[in-house]
Chains A and B, each alone.
Chain A
Amino acid sequence: MATAAAHETARSQPSGAPESADDSTAEFQRAFDAAVAADERIEPRDWMPDGYRATLIRQIAQHAHSEIIGMQPEANWITRAPSLRRKAILMAKVQDEAGHGLYLYSAAETLGTSRDELLDKLHSGRQKYSSIFNYPTLTWADVGAIGWLVDGAAITNQVPLCRCSYGPYARAMVRICKEESFHQRQGYELLLALSKGTPEQHEMAQDAVNRWWWPSLMMFGPPDDESQHSAQSMAWKIKRHSNDELRQRFVDICVPQAESLGLTLPDPDLKWNEERGHYDFGPIDWSEFWEVLKGNGPCNEQRLSRRRRAHEEGAWVREAAAAYAAKHTTGGPGRQSDVDGTTGAHHAANANGENVNGETGAKRA
């Protein structure tokens, strides 16, 4: 196992590394492989292959971005929530998402990047966020469908990440998964209230599930045979299960839940397969997935421009905070540049930031 990982890693090492470093690099590599094989955690000060670092930065950043962009479709309903209790729940959820974004940017920063740099990549489209947030929330029931299906898919994806080989990411996921499970139950409960409510409310719930089901299945990323980074991520124990395995697990969980909700799932091919011990389900429209990922989904433009606008309109506030800090800290000026994002040391992560694969659609909390 260690040999395979070493082999994979050797290929992703940047060319042009000084020859003299070869021996010590090989030794570090052996120690790293042994740690991964023994299920030990890799920590920020440990040596790690460049490819491992770059993959983690990309994945954690995209995960963080998904939390931030993911606030929008739900925040869309905060001012229209139909009861004060639901409004409080929704506000708390959106607040949690901002908090998750903060944990995740911190985890990414342990790998030698900065939040400003990552946000800059999000705003310029060089890093992605989960494709699911490019779908609109058209009715109140969508808030429930997002909780039940989108957060449900996220949890299925993320629970294994609690055992991810990179310590800071794994620990962030433990905290995030607890809160996500809570959100998912609230989403389910919201849909249940609608499903058992008036005929109009029931119809609203069914319509939302019809619209969110397939996009939720796409959150697990492309099929295994089209997922280029999967094998490497699994060898590094960043990922623990394949996209298709997780997708199947999610379908198996959702079918009985849909039944107890009194709602149907919009798939005529969905049926129990006794032989496999799993539910069979119909084909996913991957052309839609790739279109959304390319930026052509219903809300891509809207989500990104709103995020950019919030950032740009907030610039004067961040500048004020930096100027105040410079005036009132004895350390003197010099830390200001962190705030306006002009520092941006564009090192190794830059090239990797553009290397977006299908899994971008998969990570979300």
Chain B
Amino acid sequence: MVLSHRLGEWAGNAPVLEEEVALANIALDLLGQARMLLSMVGDEDELAFLREERAFRNLQLVEQPNGDFAHTIARQLYFSVYQHLLHTQLADGDGPFAALAAKAVKETAYHRDHAEQWTLRLGDGTEVSHDRMQQAANALWRYTGEMFQPVEGLDIDWTALQTAWLEQIEDVLRRATLSVPEGPRTGAWSAGAGRQGLHTEPFGRMLAEMQHLHRSHPGASW
């Protein structure tokens, strides 16, 4: 839901018309997945619009501001490769998320392909785009460790997931003539902080915008 919101901020601002369509498409897929997930737990709007920042459990990676197009693509690449691997595992299992994951795995394969294609184009495009893509890949690297912290209730081989993720990301970056970032992958506080409701500063601002109308009319239906 948080990443979908971020992608929604691109509407009307994308570098080409085809990207208006693509980014909105990905945002819609993610919003659809979020609505299914939230509805499994309770009322989707109550959960989206009436929780405070500290009660949100999203990854810090997805709340990061869009930045330039390269930042948006790096964020999407890191997340989509992860989500694709995760959903593939979940879809193969028989847990409560298997059905949802089976649907989402098709969508995330597309998201992943989109992010990968743009990483290649920006990385192996012009000197300017190469530098911007490298900067973006470096800047978001620190938020990638959090994705592999075990989550209660999910029966996943997290170590294998992380190994596969690293392999695939390294492969894409290499093909895009980019170097694999160095440095810690522990997030802004510690790995797993987002899952405990410890977020980065831009997130509160995002929620303020997202929730204000809903909160201004308590009990109203829309």
Are A98 and B213 in touch, CB under 8 angstroms? no
Are B217 and A198 in touch, CB under 8 angstroms? yes
Are A98 and B210 in touch, CB under 8 angstroms? no
Quote the shortest CB–CB distance from B56 to chain A (angstroms): 14
B174 within 8 A of A: no
Query: How far is it, in angstroms, between the C-alpha of A98 and the C-alpha of B18 when the chains are bound?
Result: 8
A47 within 8 A of B: no
Task: Give the contacts of B8-56 with A (CB-CB under 8 A).
Answer: 8-9, 11-21, 24-25, 27-28, 31-32, 34-35, 38, 44-45, 48-49
Are B129 and A98 in touch, CB under 8 angstroms? no
Are A317 and B12 in touch, CB under 8 angstroms? no
Query: How far is it, in angstroms, between the C-alpha of A79 and the C-alpha of B65 when the chains are bound?
Result: 13
In the complex, which of the residues B16, B28, B68, B217 contacts A92, with contact meaning CB atoms closer than 8 Å? Answer: B28
A-B contact count (CB 8 A): 142
In the complex, which of the residues B16, B24, B45 contacts A317, with contact meaning CB atoms closer than 8 Å? Answer: B16
Are B15 and A82 in touch, CB under 8 angstroms? no
Task: Give the contacts of A154-170 with B (CB-CB under 8 A).
Answer: none
B170 within 8 A of A: no
| Binary A-proximity of B168-184 (CB < 8 A = 1, otherwise 0) | 00000000000000000
B114 within 8 A of A: no
With A310-B15, A320-B126 as given contacts, are A95 and B21 in contact (CB-CB < 8 Å)?
yes
Task: Give the contacts of A195-229 with B (CB-CB under 8 A).
Answer: 197-198, 200-201
Query: How far is it, in angstroms, between the C-alpha of A92 and the C-alpha of B31 when the chains are bound?
Result: 11
| Binary B-proximity of A9-37 (CB < 8 A = 1, otherwise 0) | 00000000000000000000000000000
Interface residues of chain A: helix, strand, loop or mixed (majority): helix
Are A99 and B11 in touch, CB under 8 angstroms? no
Stretch at the interface among B85-93, B117-125, B158-166, B195-203: B117-125
B5 within 8 A of A: yes
Are B209 and A200 in touch, CB under 8 angstroms? no
Query: How far is it, in angstroms, between the C-alpha of A79 and the C-alpha of B214 when the chains are bound?
Result: 12
A313 within 8 A of B: yes
Are B11 and A75 in touch, CB under 8 angstroms? yes
| Binary B-proximity of A308-327 (CB < 8 A = 1, otherwise 0) | 01110111111111111001
Contacting residues, chain B, for A323 (C-beta < 8 A): 125-126, 129
Stretch at the interface among A83-91, A280-288, A350-358: A83-91
Are B9 and A84 in touch, CB under 8 angstroms? no
Quote the shortest CB–CB distance from A324 to chain B (angstroms): 4
Are A84 and B21 in touch, CB under 8 angstroms? no
Are B11 and A91 in touch, CB under 8 angstroms? yes
Are B28 and A102 in touch, CB under 8 angstroms? no
Are A140 and B220 in touch, CB under 8 angstroms? no
When C-beta atoms are compared, the residue in chain B nearest to A102 turns out to be B17
Question: What range describes how many residues of B lie at the interface?
Answer: 35 or more
In the complex, which of the residues A88, A317, A328 contacts B32, with contact meaning CB atoms closer than 8 Å? Answer: A88
Are B210 and A79 in touch, CB under 8 angstroms? yes
When C-beta atoms are compared, the residue in chain A nearest to B24 turns out to be A95
With A94-B12, A306-B12 as given contacts, are A316 and B126 in contact (CB-CB < 8 Å)?
yes
A255 within 8 A of B: no
Residues of A within 8 A of B (CB-CB), count? 51
| Binary A-proximity of B125-153 (CB < 8 A = 1, otherwise 0) | 11011001000000000000000000000
With A71-B12, A321-B125 as given contacts, are A314 and B69 in contact (CB-CB < 8 Å)?
yes
A187 within 8 A of B: no
Query: How far is it, in angstroms, between the C-alpha of A157 and the C-alpha of B34 when the chains are bound?
Result: 38
Are A200 and B217 in touch, CB under 8 angstroms? yes
A72 within 8 A of B: yes
Quote the shortest CB–CB distance from B37 to chain A (angstroms): 11
Query: How far is it, in angstroms, between the C-alpha of A78 and the C-alpha of B209 when the chains are bound?
Result: 10
Are B14 and A91 in touch, CB under 8 angstroms? no
Contacting residues, chain B, for A140 (C-beta < 8 A): 213
Are A327 and B128 in touch, CB under 8 angstroms? no
Task: Give the contacts of A36-53 with B (CB-CB under 8 A).
Answer: none
When C-beta atoms are compared, the residue in chain B nearest to A79 turns out to be B209
Quote the shortest CB–CB distance from B164 to chain A (angstroms): 27
Residues of A with Cβ closer than 8 Å to B?
68, 71-72, 75, 78-88, 91-92, 94-95, 98-99, 101-102, 105, 115, 140, 190, 193-194, 197-198, 200-201, 306, 309-311, 313-324, 327-328
Ranked 5 nearest A-B pairs via Cβ: A314-B15, A320-B125, A320-B129, A95-B24, A98-B20
Known pairs A79-B209, A88-B28, A91-B8; list 15 more (Cβ under 8 Å). Answer: A71-B20, A79-B210, A83-B45, A83-B221, A83-B222, A99-B21, A200-B220, A306-B13, A314-B19, A316-B129, A317-B129, A318-B15, A320-B122, A321-B121, A324-B121
Q: List 6 A-B contacts (CB under 8 A).
A: A94-B20, A99-B21, A194-B222, A313-B13, A314-B69, A320-B128
